[in-house]
Structure 1
């Protein structure tokens, strides 16, 4: 079982500060960065306060229930398993933001995972709103919408204007990455990621400039270290290597680093690397990782704000599109 000391080590914050924060000490002043670090460490380590009071950082993992959900309750559905989520800082941060806003507003949070949908359709139906985090199959989306049309999707928008959504602007951020790639006069850019907007922008831009090579475009269903590692190993078998790799996530970039170093090559001397998300360890990688900073914690908070708006009577559907920030570090440098 995780302890306050474990959280302190993960967040690099004193145990006394963490204890006071989790117990809502009104005399404590904590910066937003420290608050985010504490909440993300709490979530990733699965910490639960011994007191388990409603006002503390506690939510309910649902197995199966027939109880109706009250007006101050919200149901969150995560497309990842608990183990997968812990390994993905982006979605861990979204959940932490959701939980933080629920804590602030006194909202009871009930959590479901994808494999629990069928057993909890009544819970979903009775919820005043469902927050669906991640990417779901067409069949799951149809099941959810039939059960409850008051859905707030986070990081996807499968039903368009039929529901609320909180999104990152994948088109804009990938276009900015590719402009930096072009401005740096890269000749063999590579992409490792999923089949979504960033892949489409990469292909469009590289084809327009005569830089597209099918072997340098690796599509995976997972955003993880292993997928980045395997994809990069395959590219390193080519006669002509990429000069820059655009990784769909920083976790993918970690795998890319590993494969490059195992081959005896250097970053950025032989191959440059660009990631996405700006996870906490990105600045500590060797060399530090150039990446696109996103705002997943804030996305989670905004999802709850949209739920509160619904409860206050908002009738129209709403989509919130988050921006990004390109973070220049040593793995990809201006020329």
Structure 2
């Protein structure tokens, strides 16, 4: 494999001169630069990113961080996020994926390790991480959760409005006994989706019943358990809004396990529109949260910041959409 030192020897210059010439530095004379670049082409030279990063003071690494990968991030949510980011990040950059909760402190997150960071933020507990990154002067784009810092590029969808639309759809179908399966406590999405649920009930003057508000953990098992709890009530609900699709899948299975039919015995609606939602039995009515689109936009924005060396703060909202399938029916 040809190295910078090989080219330097043949051109009778220092390896620093070769590095600068290959990176089109204005410090090198045009004639010398042309000679070195032609030599590199003839020898099929491939850049060594470690060496290149020393000269350019770049890491050629973009960090994709989650609040947590192991706690509350479903496999479909994780996959959609990585797919969206990866579709934009080209081969010039390495993509580093990690959960913030993997770190005892953030001392290893420094400018020479990351050119830019995309944060899939799920909780306000991420704020300490955000401020560390800003102090390190690493460009950051925060996606999924609204942040108050006006200096940050922030891309998110309106979870509250989406969940309100979902519950209003149940009400339009004659349901009044409507339960909610909540997500992880402290996650912003959990709070926003509960607020949307409550808003829909208040707007239609439907009493809020505490026994219809049950805890979940954004996974299928917690959805199964929560549905079992709801079906054991003296007056079980006729419809359930699940704060994500994974819990909705668990809820469907819990209903079937008790010999009930969805949607004729109980209606179920989810949130996210994961890929498998259209293949459940019955297919799942849900709110489409365009995670992949949000993630793709986040990656496009971080690359633009790195290319233009200018961070123009902005807040971008991506609309949710109610997807009607077969897990909801009109109340007789």
Is this a same-fold pair by TM over 0.5? yes
Query: Which one of 133, 158, 161 corresponds to residue 150 of structure 2?
Result: 161
Q: Distance in 1 between matches of 2:292 and 2:206?
A: 38
CA pair 160-211 structure 1, distance change in 2 beyond 3 A: farther
Query: Which one of 109, 112, 120 corresponds to residue 133 of structure 1?
Result: 120
CA contact (8 A) 1:69 1:123 kept: no
Gaps of 5+ in 2: 1-45, 47-55, 184-189
2:225 is the counterpart of 1:236: no
2:313 is the counterpart of 1:326: no
Residue 253 of structure 1 corresponds to which residue in structure 2?
248
Higher Rg of the two aligned structures:
2
Q: Distance in 2 between matches of 1:83 and 1:214?
A: 26
RMSD, matched Cα = 2.8
- CA shift at 1:170, angstroms? 0.8
Q: Distance in 2 between matches of 1:141 and 1:237?
A: 43
- CA shift at 1:260, angstroms? 1.1
SS in 1 for 2:156: strand
Gaps of 5+ in 1: 1-53, 55-67
Query: Which one of 188, 205, 212 corresponds to residue 208 of structure 2?
Result: 212
- CA shift at 1:197, angstroms? 0.9
Query: Which one of 106, 109, 129 corresponds to residue 95 of structure 2?
Result: 109
Residue 159 of structure 2 corresponds to which residue in structure 1?
170
Quick check: 315-324 or 301-310, which moved more? 315-324
Query: Which one of 162, 181, 185 corresponds to residue 192 of structure 1?
Result: 181
CA pair 334-188 structure 1, distance change in 2 beyond 3 A: closer
Q: Distance in 2 between matches of 1:238 and 1:119?
A: 45
SS in 2 for 1:167: strand
Query: Which one of 283, 289, 294 corresponds to residue 288 of structure 1?
Result: 283
Q: TM-score, with normalisation over the residues of structure 2?
A: 0.72
2:86 is the counterpart of 1:91: no
CA contact (8 A) 2:155 2:298 kept: yes
CA pair 175-94 structure 1, distance change in 2 beyond 3 A: same
CA contact (8 A) 2:160 2:193 kept: yes
Query: Which one of 65, 76, 85 corresponds to residue 64 of structure 2?
Result: 76
CA contact (8 A) 2:143 2:155 kept: yes
CA contact (8 A) 1:121 1:147 kept: no
Q: Distance in 1 between matches of 2:291 and 2:220?
A: 19
CA pair 148-329 structure 1, distance change in 2 beyond 3 A: same
Q: Distance in 2 between matches of 1:91 and 1:168?
A: 17
- CA shift at 1:114, angstroms? 2.0
- CA shift at 1:290, angstroms? 0.8
CA pair 123-143 structure 1, distance change in 2 beyond 3 A: closer
Q: Distance in 2 between matches of 1:83 and 1:197?
A: 19
2:304 is the counterpart of 1:317: no
CA contact (8 A) 2:121 2:142 kept: yes
- CA shift at 1:111, angstroms? 2.5
Between Structure 1 and Structure 2, how many residues are aligned? 268
Deviations 1:211-238 (A, max 9, x none): 3211101233x21111111111111111
Q: Distance in 2 between matches of 1:212 and 1:97?
A: 38
